[in-house]
């Protein structure tokens, strides 16, 4: 009887782990969305640290130094992945980004000037 009970417990644990793994995959997939905000960099966000430069110059300088582009939407800062040439062009400008959000990272599908 002990072997049957422990076999059932192991089977139930295996099913629970399987459901957990599927849930993590769905969560990791992210959600497609459209966000409108200002292009910045992940270090400065909404408050640029280089006071002697424009916001665009600061953003480009931080990215050149290794930071990622970011999108500031209200008070939330999303790190952007992809379309770096367009982000360079739109530094410190309001844009609309379409992409997949996973946590606080957006994988960019397209970027256009905000209307």
Give the structural domain span for 89: 31-113
1 located within any domain: no
Hey, what are 1's tokens? 């009887």
Distances (CA, A) of 63 to 59, 66, 80: 6, 5, 11
Q: How many domains does the chain have?
A: 1
7 located within any domain: no
108 located within any domain: yes
23 located within any domain: no
Task: For residue range 56-104, list pLDDT tens digits in order.
Answer: 999 999 999 999 999 999 999 999 999 999 999 999 999 999 999 999 9
The predicted model scores a pTM of 0.73
8 A C-beta contact, residue 41 and residue 53: no
5 located within any domain: no
Length of the chain in terms of residues written: 115
Task: For residue range 15-48, list pLDDT tens digits in order.
Answer: 655 554 444 454 455 788 999 999 999 999 999 8
Q: What pLDDT is stored for residue 15 in this prediction?
A: 61
81 located within any domain: yes
88 located within any domain: yes
* DSSP conformation class of 115: -
9 located within any domain: no
Question: Which pLDDT band holds residue 6 (cuts at 50, 70, 90)?
Answer: low
């Amino acid at each position: 009887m002990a072997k049957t009970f422990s076999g059932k417990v192991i089977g139930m644990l295996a099913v629970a782990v399987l459901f957990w793994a599927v849930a993590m995959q769905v969560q990791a997939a992210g959600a497609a969305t459209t966000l409108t905000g200002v292009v910045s960099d992940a270090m400065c966000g909404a408050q640029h640290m280089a006071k002697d430069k424009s916001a665009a110059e600061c953003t480009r300088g931080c990215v050149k130094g290794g930071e990622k582009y970011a999108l500031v939407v209200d008070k939330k800062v999303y790190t952007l992945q992809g379309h770096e040439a367009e982000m360079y062009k739109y530094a410190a400008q309001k844009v609309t980004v379409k992409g997949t959000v996973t946590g606080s990272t957006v994988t960019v599908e397209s970027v256009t000037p905000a209307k």
